[in-house]
Amino acid sequence: MAETGTPAEVVEVVKRTGVHGEITQVLCKILDGPEKGRVKRRNVRGFLRKGDLLVLLNTEREAKEIKAR
């Protein structure tokens, strides 16, 4: 059974994180659904650039801001 997601556009690439830098934290704008137009911070695995499209399975969650130690 395939799940449907919500499309989102990458507005800004914030920072890379993870032990080896494999996670990218991005700000993405929700393009459809009840939260349309909101900008959320998400952690995404893989290479992304500004303007890329994502499909989010859950739009209610938001990642914490990465703080320097």
pLDDT at 9: 96
Rg (CA), the chain: 12
Q: What is the pLDDT along the chain (69 residues), one digit of tens a residue?
A: 346 899 999 999 999 888 888 899 999 999 998 899 999 999 999 888 999 999 999 888 889 888 876
pLDDT at 17: 84
Identify whether the C-beta of residue 36 lies closer than 8 Å to the C-beta of residue 52.
Answer: no
pLDDT at 3: 67
Count the alpha carbons within 13 Å of 28 in the hemisphere toward its beta carbon.
28
Region 6-56: CATH code: 2.40.50.140
For the chain, which residues make up each domain, given as ranges? 6-56
Residue length of the chain:
69
Please give the helix or strand (H or E) that residue 14 lies within, else none: strand 6-17
Cβ neighbours of 53 (radius 10 Å) = 11
pLDDT at 30: 95
